[in-house]
Chains A and B, each alone.
Chain A
Amino acid sequence: MKNKILMFWFIVAVVIVSSILIFVKPTKLGLDLVGGSRLLLEAETTESIAKITPEVMNRLQFAIEQRVNKLGVAETVVQQVGDKRLLVEIPNVTDLKEAKAFIGETAQLEFKKEGKASDGSPIWVSTGLTGQDLSKSILSTDATGQWVVSLEFNAEGAKKFADLTKALVGQQMAIFFDGELQSAPRVNEAIYGGKAQISGGDSGFAYEEAERMVNLLNAGALPVPAKIVEENTVGPTLGADSIAKSRKAGIIGLSAVMVFMILFYHVPGVIADIALIIYSLILFALFKTIPVTLTLAGIAGFILSIGMAVDANILIFERTKEELRAGRNLFTAINSGFDRAFTSIFDSNMTTIITCTILYLLGTSVVKGFALTLAIGVMVSMFTAITVTKNFMHLIFGTGELKHPALFGLKKDEIGQSYEATETKREKARFGILD
Chain B
Amino acid sequence: MINLTTHKVKVVKYRWWWMLLTTILLVPGIIAMIYSAVTYSNHAPLKVGIDYTGGTILQYGLEQKLENSDVTKTREALEGIGVENPYIQILNVNNTQQENTKSNINSIISIRTKFIEEGSDDADKITECLTRNYDNPELISVSSVGPTMGKELFKNSLIAVTLAFLGIVAYLSFRFRFDYALAAILGVFHDVIFVVGAFSILGLVYNVQIDGLFITAILTVIGFSVHDTIVVFDRIRENLRYYSKKMSFGEIVDASVNQTLTRSINTSLTTLITLLALYLWGGVTTRDFVLCMILGIAIGTYSSIFFCSMLVDFWNDKQQTA
Interface residues of A (CB under 8 A from B): 32, 40, 42, 96-97, 100-101, 104, 227-235, 237-238, 240-242, 244-250, 252-254, 256-257, 260-261, 264, 296-297, 300, 303-304, 306-308, 310-311, 314-315, 318, 322, 340, 343-344, 347-352, 354-359, 362-364, 366-367, 370-371, 374, 417-420, 422-423
Contacts and interface: CB of A to CB of B under 8 A. Distances in A.
Contacts of B238: 340, 343
Contacts of A32: 285
Contacts of A322: 259
B140 A234 contact: yes
Residue among A356, A367, A374, A423 with the most chain B CB within 10 A?
Answer: A367
B64 interface: no
A79 B251 CA distance: 58
Nearest to A42: B146
A343 B230 CA distance: 9
Nearest to B141: A234
B230 A241 contact: no
A297 B216 contact: yes
A237 B231 contact: no
A345 B3 CA distance: 25
A234 B260 CA distance: 45
B212 A362 contact: no
A322 B184 CA distance: 26
Contacts of A374: 220
Contact of A354 (B119, B153, B171, B220): B171
Nearest to A307: B271
Closest CB pairs A-B (n = 6): A307-B271, A253-B277, A229-B146, A253-B274, A348-B227, A244-B100
Contact of A233 (B141, B156, B271): B141
B38 interface: no
Given A304-B293, A352-B227, A237 B146 contact: no
A260 B283 contact: no
A352 B270 contact: no
A164 B226 CA distance: 72
Interface in B288-306: 289-290, 293
Nearest to A322: B259
Contacts of A100: 118
B142 A232 contact: yes
B278 interface: yes
B67 to A, nearest CB: 22
A249 to B, nearest CB: 4
Contact of B231 (A257, A348, A363): A348
Contacts of A264: 266
B230 A348 contact: yes
A104 B120 CA distance: 13
Contacts of B138: 235, 237
Give the secondary structure class of B's interface: helix
A250 B277 contact: yes
A362 B144 CA distance: 21
A350 B143 CA distance: 35
B98 A310 contact: no
Contacts, number: 239
Given A100-B118, A230-B145, A351 B230 contact: yes
Contacts of B213: 297, 366-367
Contacts of B163: 358, 362
Interface in B235-292: 235, 238, 242-243, 259-260, 262-263, 266-267, 269-271, 273-278, 280-283, 285-286, 289-290
Interface string B114-155: 000011000110000000000000111111111011000100
Given A344-B230, A364-B212, A300 B175 contact: no
B103 A254 contact: no
Contacts of B72: none
B123 to A, nearest CB: 8
B159 interface: yes
A276 B168 CA distance: 28
A354 B141 contact: no
A246 B223 CA distance: 23
Nearest to B290: A300
A40 B235 CA distance: 48
Contacts of B235: 344
B97 interface: yes
Given A303-B274, A311-B271, A418-B6, A366 B105 contact: no
A351 B165 CA distance: 10
A257 B149 contact: no
Residue among B124, B138, B141, B242 with the most chain A CB within 10 A?
Answer: B141
Contact of A232 (B139, B143, B290): B143
A101 B117 CA distance: 12
Residue among A244, A247, A256, A370 with the most chain B CB within 10 A?
Answer: A244
A100 B124 CA distance: 14
Contacts of B141: 232-235, 238
Interface string B52-92: 00001001010000000000000000000000000000000
Contact of B156 (A296, A354, A362): A362
A245 B283 contact: yes
Contacts of A101: 119
B222 A355 contact: yes
